Chains A and B, each alone.
Chain A
Amino acid sequence: MSLRSEPMVRAQKFEDKESLFTREVREQIDTWVAKYPAEWKQSACMPALTIVQDMNGGYLTRDLMDQVADYLDMPPIAVYEVASFYSMYEHKPMGRHKICLCTNVSCMICGSDNILEHIRNRLGIGFGEVTPDGRFGLKEVECLGACGGAPMMQIGHTYYENLTPELVDQILDGLE
């Protein structure tokens, strides 16, 4: 049985890496590349996508994915596969603040339906939608591993737990 242990390196490498992204982004990606064996640059694919998504206001474009492929010497399709597999990558704008609301079992038991209802009423958007002013996007997420604080949501890097409609209002009011 042949085992899959080889990186998906493409035969034609993109030489002009300096033309990709910005220097700052390249340096950020490089700190990840440095963590893995030299021939496994592709291990940095996920962090690289995260970095360029953040840089791009929260979503990926074909051009950005292709640049990641060029930068890491991967076939573009291998990058598309990764970018479309993991749920934290977005392929369209999700607003300045992406509200990730958990509706999984523990949160549901503890009333995530009410929280969803409240957010819908307040922002006028459902899952997968963005407010017309581009301030908020709403996304249904699976268990985020904070069931002790159910119901909960994540905005940016922050977890907000033990949500009540009032608390949600406070949180959203505090976001530009």
Chain B
Amino acid sequence: MVNEVCFRTLHCDRPWRLETYQSEGGYEALKMILAEKTPQEDIIEMVKQSGLRGRGGAGFPTGLKWGFINRTAPGEKYVVVNSDEGEPGTFKDRDILRYNPHALIEGILICGYAIGAATGYNYIRGEFWEPYERFEEAVTEAREAGLLGDNILDSGFGFQIHTHLGSGAYICGEETALLESLEGKKGQPRFKPPFPAMFGLYGRPTVINNTETLASVPDIVRRGADWFREIGVPNSGGPKLFSVSGNVVRPGNYEVPMGIPFAELLEMAGGMREGKRCKAVIPGGSSVPVLPGEIMMDVTMDYESIEKVGSMLGSGAVIVMDDSNCMVKVLERIAYFYYEESCGQCTPCREGTGWMYRVIHRIENGTGRQEDLDLLDDVAKKIMGRTICALGDAAAMPVASFIQHFRDEFQYHIDHKKCMV
């Protein structure tokens, strides 16, 4: 079973249109809720039961997050969508926005209804112009069809959705940095607690969810929590979009049940290019630890299995590398990315990411020193868990894991001042 939820219109002509979405059962969940006046807590409970976990990377249970909102508190509450897709290797939300924007809109509305919010913001990264236009068209369509705006379908429930565009900063994918950015500031993560559920956008209670997470919600409501949960495996409910990139024959997004063996996913992506060996895989976006190909071949794609072998499912971005890749060079590029994208707010990340990059850079360029690998390990350890947000960890984990799994290659660079690949 593929493309059942977020991609369920993908087989249709012009899959992004309202009529296409409705022909696939779109907005039935919303209509049902509004018609039956489903109690808010029932919806939250349903989302909890579905086993849906945050698809942006952290994997936090979505229903739990919604439940944290004090629904009876007076004043505004907000739904914010994190469409600031920027984790290297990840390109799934772009396709949801381009091909099934109505699923997201319906998901936002259901969330808004469940937490008692009347306004939602979709924060789309600034480079995503085509997805932005698609989403805006869909919002217009929905509004014209009476599915969005004041008094939706005469139910008394009203909701507005606004799109906000980013301007180029990976850190804004971090939920509190995104909120800061939406408030017109630099995207610097906030210290937590308080979490957005208490103190979110404009200081108000806020649910902030990834695009894929919210786009999964309508089907949970329409087809039931059990239906959704049982697609996956225990603790990893539902299907998930995997963005497969790198040295594979058919890179792309695959919406498949969680728990699918990696080997099968690789097969769907056409296998390795030119029949080469799968040397290494980053299974969840550049922030998670790398794993050697041979380990990956025995792993299933769900939260627990990947954690067991020392990495994370993350955003579901699977970067596949064959044996023509130099691991030092790959790590150098990843380290450069975090150095470039550190917001600069807290000390270990601001100072440590540049330090790590420079050390890896000199190893890659033949001026590495014998003590460098221990130094890198130690610097990574001193960043890990010491920063306000997870970017510090994200910068540290690749470094530690690349050295752990490919130490020989790094040592060879240092000893011979050249690459072994």
Binding site for B on A (CB under 8 A): 3-5, 7-8, 35-37, 40, 42-47, 49-50, 72, 74, 78, 81-82, 85-89, 100, 103-106, 108-110, 141-150, 154, 157-159
Q: How near does chain A come to B358, taking the closest CB pair, in angstroms? A: 18
- Residues B169 and A147 in contact, CB atoms below 8 Å apart: no
29 contacts between A and B (CB under 8 A): A5-B202, A35-B162, A35-B164, A43-B184, A44-B184, A46-B126, A46-B167, A50-B126, A50-B167, A81-B185, A81-B186, A85-B343, A86-B166, A86-B167, A105-B319, A105-B333, A105-B334, A109-B245, A109-B247, A109-B321, A142-B170, A142-B341, A143-B89, A143-B90, A146-B91, A147-B89, A147-B319, A148-B245, A159-B130
Partner of B337 from A49, A85, A110, A143 at Cβ < 8 Å? A143
Given A44-B184, A105-B88, A88–B167 Cβ distance below 8 Å? yes
- Residues A85 and B169 in contact, CB atoms below 8 Å apart: yes
> Which residue, A7, A81, A104, A105, has most C-beta atoms of chain B within 10 A?
A105
- Residues A105 and B330 in contact, CB atoms below 8 Å apart: yes
- Residues B167 and A148 in contact, CB atoms below 8 Å apart: no
Residues from chain B with Cβ under 8 Å of A154 in the complex: 127
Q: Which residue of B lies closest to A45 (CB)?
A: B184
Partner of A40 from B126, B184, B337 at Cβ < 8 Å? B184
Q: How near does chain B come to A71, taking the closest CB pair, in angstroms? A: 12
| Total number of B residues with any Cβ neighbor in A under 8 Å | 59
- Residues A145 and B246 in contact, CB atoms below 8 Å apart: no
Given A81-B186, A105-B330, A147-B245, A88–B127 Cβ distance below 8 Å? yes
- Residues A109 and B325 in contact, CB atoms below 8 Å apart: yes
The list of the 9 closest CB pairs from A to B, nearest first, reads A5-B203, A87-B168, A42-B184, A86-B167, A157-B129, A88-B168, A147-B245, A45-B184, A143-B88
B169-219 with Cβ < 8 A to chain A = 169-170, 181-187, 190, 194, 199, 202-203
Please report the C-alpha to C-alpha distance between residue A72 and residue B184 in the assembled complex, in whole angstroms. 10
Residues from chain B with Cβ under 8 Å of A47 in the complex: 164-165
